[in-house]
Amino acid sequence: MSDSSMLRQWAEIKAQFSDCLIFFRLGDFYEAFNEDAERFAGVCDVVLTSRPVSKDRRIPMAGVPFHAVDGYIAQLVRAGVKVAIVEQSGGDGGADKRSRMSRAGMSQADAKGDSGRATTTAEPSVPTTTAEPSVPATAPSPDAASGPAVRTAKPAARPKLMAREVVRVVTPGTLIEGDLLEARQANYLAALVCAPKGDGVGLAHLDISTGAFATTDFDGADSLRHAFDELVRLRPAEVVVPEPQSATDDAFTARLKEQLSQSGLPTVVMGHARWQFEDANARRVLLEHFGATTLRAYGCEDRPLACAAAGAALGYALVAQRGRLAQVTGLATYAVDDYMTLDAATRRNLEISVTLRGDARGGTLLSVLDTTRTALGARTLRAWLDRPLVDAARIAHRHDAVGALVDAPEARAAMRDALAGTPDLERLVNRAVAGYAGPREVLALARAARAVPAVATIVSAAGGTTVQHLGGLCRQDVSEVAARIERTLVDEPPAVFGSAGTIRPGASAALDALHEGISAARAWIASLEGRERERTGLRKLKVGYNRVFGYYLELPKSMADSAPEDYERRQTLVDNERYVTPELKAREAEVLGGEEQIQALERTIFRDLVADVAAAAPVLLAAARDLGILDALASLADVAATHHYVRPSLDDSRSLELVGARHPVVERRVAGAPFVPNDIGLAEGEIVLLTGPNMAGKSTVGRMVAHVVLLAQVGSFVPADRARIGLVDRIFTRIGAQDELAAGQSTFMVEMVETANILHHATPRSLIILDELGRGTSTYDGIAIAWAVLEHVHNHPRLGARTLFATHYHELTALSELLPRVRNLSMKVAETDGRIVFLHRVVDGAADRSYGVHVAELAGLPQSVVRRAWALLERLEEGDGVPLQEAVGRPVADEQGQLSLFAPAPTAAPHPALDALRAMDLDGLTPLEALTRLYELRRMAQG
């Protein structure tokens, strides 16, 4: 093969997959050429080299060994690069065309010469061609089958150019490799398409690692915003949109990217050919894939945008997977109305699965609820939390199940033990269906399947309500598949199919016979030396092996004349002569040919096994779903039992009543002092104004109410002594003044955009939590806006939603005298010797004042500043207005309270701690931040 023909092949593939970085398999390496090489070296830490293509031309090249490729693919994909994997598909050696994994494994095993079952190590495995470096060492040459002897007679022909093809395109949303996937969350590919007039959006999502595929649509002027909320919920790894064609399209893509990054999503946006989103094409792709004639069963026959998005997503994944998507067996068209709607801001504010600081582990609602034992359970629980229900019957169903498990601690513990360490059945099945599963994974699949009857037995044994509410789960009969796998594979099969040693002795009579044949031939060869010495009387006779001639009999030159008749001379060395006999050649062929046959037969047996697993996929996947549900339910029950949650009662009213409620996350965080439970009631259409100084616990109460409602409708028990909740259709929050300047929007702008969204979309069934609304602007503006918003919520016929409004503007409490459904509550504080203590308790009535100066004092402001503030406050409260004349250029009194009139002009710069103090936005600080700043200030003050 010449380099130029190989490069031509590369260029042809590159032309077809021009948007991809091509990983071109050359022997044991994947190579990137030209611009790809430069890009590869730019993203990953690999050395950029070059390769000569003609006498005086070299092209850039960068390569990695095949066995290390996954890590590099992961890096590239994370950087938004699509990678096309090009494998050698030709050669007459019958290399497996489907799986790059299996071929990779084969060469690895061959290189080490370890073939699992080999009984002697003296022999090499199948020889590999080394004639030319760029020819793969992996595909056996046609000669190999007949063994070394033939090779000598007929020198290896110069190999032709290997056929190569793209076996798959790897993108963030189409990963299937277990190592590249996040086990505990879904890996979605989303497709988004807008109606030409912008009055509708289709949004589909597909997880090819689990086969989950669903689509929805939105209409009306706000459709894009709703679609975006749904995207935030899904957190896809990748979203494909029609390739931009105009400046408007570009602007749209840019906006989408911006919104995604604002929500802290690592989602990669990819353009995909426009026609793929067109109705006719999308329908065709879906119908062909499902082998259907109508999309009615999938619910999107009459929903063109949902259909367009689904077709585009599937089409994109089909290209990436080169048509292998057998695991995608269904499509669900859903309506966002089936679930409680949580807009992007609310999801963020409630820190459901990511904190406001972007931490995805600690401090989230998910983190306090997730004690699942399996990745499947973790994904299920996350999906539930992301989608609270609105249907009372479905919620009750989950509460029943959680309750049953709360009441059966032993069964719960046994079940969780059985689930612990269970491999990811769902993803394993899908890998098997897609043809990627190696032997070790198939065996793991059997082990995972064994958990199904195990937990079902535990449930049945528990009896009572456990059986009543959970008895229907994990009833699938998967033992037969598991047994079939265990019967077929050895106990510790290799990760990738390749060398012999995958199939269990006894699984196939034909295979066992081959092994016996080989053993017999080996034994015959091993004892040949002794026998021949005996027969010929030539003590110096030896049996040996070399790569070129295979087995031979060797005699010193001096004894050559005594060689028996049947010895055929093969090679003459300085001191020795080497011979073969027909029988030796026959046995040698048995050994080498036998190994070939064993490989081929093992491959066939393994493929049949995988085909059987794939055939059982629907049952296995249903079982996997049940395992996930049981694990998630058990996790909820465990948390409920450990942390004293109760079953909430849900009804059709539009009020709610919480007694002894706790914030699920904060209650686990407060060290030392215990969390103070609170009672909160919201009558139909009631607006509660919660006042109190900073740090008193207002925000905590607001989030607590939202969390309790959310948990209740997820189907979880709730952290309270008692909770009665009228079903909520949407939760809206506008919480805290976060600094979103990093995202390019001022805090106040964000606040107003979110508030506008609430006023447009809330219904009488909604729950609105407003926290410090209007704080982002001046006091009078802020109070005016808050006032107007509350009036609107109170009076608008389409609103009247239950609302909790936390504010430190105690001026607003006057509203309760004007609006009948406004009620004042406040956070109790105790005052001793002019100092305040936060009791974190909600009490009736308005706070009498802001306690701002108290808080400033607690924060450690210098005594002189605090005293001055008290004095000014007094003047202001008496209605004297701001005593401006006093504020101008007066030197600060020193610690003794004397005015240092004659103190030297401050030549030295003022102390930096003071500047820092002045620059501090106390209202915008969390208590923890305040404390941290305080330490900083003290450090500065101490020099």
**Interacting residue ranges for Mg ion, rule: CB under 5 A:** 699
What's the order of all strands across the beta sheet hosting 212-219?
268-272, 238-242, 189-194, 200-207, 212-219, 332-333
Q: Which stretch binds ligand ADP (CB under 6 A): 406-414, 440-448, 479-487, 696-704?
A: 696-704
- How many residues in the shown chain lie near ligand ADP by CB under 6 A? 14
Distance between CA atoms of residues 734 and 751, nearest Å: 7
Distance between CA atoms of residues 8 and 19, nearest Å: 18
Distance between CA atoms of residues 650 and 398, nearest Å: 12
CA-wise closest residue to 925 among 702, 704, 737: 737
CB of 718 to ligand ADP, least distance (A): 15
If the CB atoms of residues 134 and 850 are measured against ligand ADP, the closer one turns out to be: 850
670 binds ligand ADP (CB under 6 A): yes
Distance between CA atoms of residues 416 and 372, nearest Å: 8
Judged by CB under 6 A, the residue of 927, 931, 935, 936 near ligand ADP is 927
If the CB atoms of residues 115 and 346 are measured against Mg ion, the closer one turns out to be: 346
675 binds ligand ADP (CB under 6 A): yes
Q: Which does 476 bind (CB under 5 to 8 A by kind): Mg ion, ligand ADP, none?
A: none
If the CB atoms of residues 32 and 666 are measured against ligand ADP, the closer one turns out to be: 666
Judged by CB under 6 A, the residue of 205, 348, 373, 698 near ligand ADP is 698
CB of 390 to ligand ADP, least distance (A): 28
Listing DSSP states for 511-557 in one string gives: HHHHHHHHHHHHHHHHTHHHHHHHHH--TT-EEEEETTTEEEEEEEG
CB of 810 to ligand ADP, least distance (A): 12
Q: Which does 692 bind (CB under 5 to 8 A by kind): Mg ion, ligand ADP, none?
A: ligand ADP
If the CB atoms of residues 601 and 922 are measured against Mg ion, the closer one turns out to be: 922
CB of 781 to ligand ADP, least distance (A): 21
If the CB atoms of residues 585 and 841 are measured against ligand ADP, the closer one turns out to be: 841
Q: Which does 696 bind (CB under 5 to 8 A by kind): Mg ion, ligand ADP, none?
A: ligand ADP
CB of 926 to ligand ADP, least distance (A): 7
CB of 943 to ligand ADP, least distance (A): 31
If the CB atoms of residues 679 and 729 are measured against ligand ADP, the closer one turns out to be: 679
Q: Which does 27 bind (CB under 5 to 8 A by kind): ligand ADP, Mg ion, none?
A: none
Question: What region does 341 belong to: left with phi over 0, alpha with psi -120 to 50, or beta?
Answer: beta
694 binds ligand ADP (CB under 6 A): yes
Residue with tokens 């407060």: 670
757 binds ligand ADP (CB under 6 A): no
CB of 344 to ligand ADP, least distance (A): 22
Which 795-854 residues touch ligand ADP, going by CB under 6 A?
A: 840
CB of 799 to ligand ADP, least distance (A): 24
171 binds ligand ADP (CB under 6 A): no
421 binds ligand ADP (CB under 6 A): no
Indicate the residue type of 805: F
696 binds ligand ADP (CB under 6 A): yes
CA-wise closest residue to 550 among 580, 509, 595: 580
φ, ψ of residue 389 in degrees (nearest 5) = -90, 165
CA-wise closest residue to 454 among 511, 499, 415: 415
CB of 870 to Mg ion, least distance (A): 24
Q: Which stretch binds ligand ADP (CB under 6 A): 2-10, 159-167, 174-182, 689-697?
A: 689-697
Encoded tokens for 391: 């249907």
Q: Which stretch binds ligand ADP (CB under 6 A): 331-339, 413-421, 454-462, 693-701?
A: 693-701
CB of 701 to Mg ion, least distance (A): 9
Q: Which does 411 bind (CB under 5 to 8 A by kind): Mg ion, ligand ADP, none?
A: none
If the CB atoms of residues 147 and 693 are measured against ligand ADP, the closer one turns out to be: 693
CA distances from 283 to 305, 307, 333, 547 (A): 11, 7, 14, 59
Encoded tokens for 351: 């820190």
CB of 21 to Mg ion, least distance (A): 48
774 binds ligand ADP (CB under 6 A): no
CB of 843 to ligand ADP, least distance (A): 13
666 binds ligand ADP (CB under 6 A): yes
If the CB atoms of residues 286 and 696 are measured against ligand ADP, the closer one turns out to be: 696
Q: Which stretch binds ligand ADP (CB under 6 A): 10-18, 142-150, 300-308, 670-678?
A: 670-678
Judge contact between 379 and 186, C-beta under 8 A.
yes
Judge contact between 23 and 39, C-beta under 8 A.
no
If the CB atoms of residues 103 and 698 are measured against ligand ADP, the closer one turns out to be: 698
Indicate the residue type of 753: V
If the CB atoms of residues 623 and 853 are measured against ligand ADP, the closer one turns out to be: 853
Distance between CA atoms of residues 66 and 227, nearest Å: 40
Encoded tokens for 241: 């949109």
If the CB atoms of residues 176 and 701 are measured against Mg ion, the closer one turns out to be: 701
Judge contact between 318 and 325, C-beta under 8 A.
yes
Distance between CA atoms of residues 675 and 698, nearest Å: 14
CB of 813 to Mg ion, least distance (A): 16
If the CB atoms of residues 176 and 709 are measured against ligand ADP, the closer one turns out to be: 709
Judged by CB under 6 A, the residue of 355, 364, 372, 699 near ligand ADP is 699
CB of 855 to ligand ADP, least distance (A): 9
Give the long-range contacts of residues 459-467, CB within 8 A, separation 24 or more: 459/411, 459/415, 459/630, 461/411, 462/408, 462/410, 462/411, 464/404, 464/407, 464/408, 465/400, 465/403, 465/404, 465/407, 465/408, 466/404, 466/405, 466/407, 466/408, 466/411
First to last CA, the chain: 73
Judged by CB under 6 A, the residue of 63, 242, 438, 697 near ligand ADP is 697
315 binds ligand ADP (CB under 6 A): no
CB of 758 to Mg ion, least distance (A): 18
Q: Which does 453 bind (CB under 5 to 8 A by kind): ligand ADP, Mg ion, none?
A: none
CB of 920 to ligand ADP, least distance (A): 16
φ, ψ of residue 331 in degrees (nearest 5) = -140, 130
Kindly tell me the number of DSSP H helices and DSSP E strands found in the chain. Answer: 31, 27
Q: Which does 409 bind (CB under 5 to 8 A by kind): Mg ion, ligand ADP, none?
A: none
Q: Which does 776 bind (CB under 5 to 8 A by kind): ligand ADP, Mg ion, none?
A: none
Distance between CA atoms of residues 162 and 616, nearest Å: 36
DSSP 114: -
If the CB atoms of residues 699 and 713 are measured against Mg ion, the closer one turns out to be: 699
Judge contact between 543 and 525, C-beta under 8 A.
yes
If the CB atoms of residues 533 and 643 are measured against ligand ADP, the closer one turns out to be: 643
CA distances from 719 to 391, 422, 576, 636, 841 (A): 21, 30, 89, 12, 16
**H-only helix segments in 334-391:** 344-349, 365-369, 375-386
CA-wise closest residue to 444 among 309, 620, 315: 620
If the CB atoms of residues 227 and 731 are measured against Mg ion, the closer one turns out to be: 731
Q: Label residues 582-608 b or e (16+ Cβ within 10 Å = b).
A: eebbebbbbbbbbbbbbbebbbebbbe
CB of 827 to ligand ADP, least distance (A): 6
DSSP 142: G
Three-state DSSP class for 690?
strand
Binding site for ligand ADP (CB under 6 A): 666, 670, 675-676, 692, 694-700, 840, 927
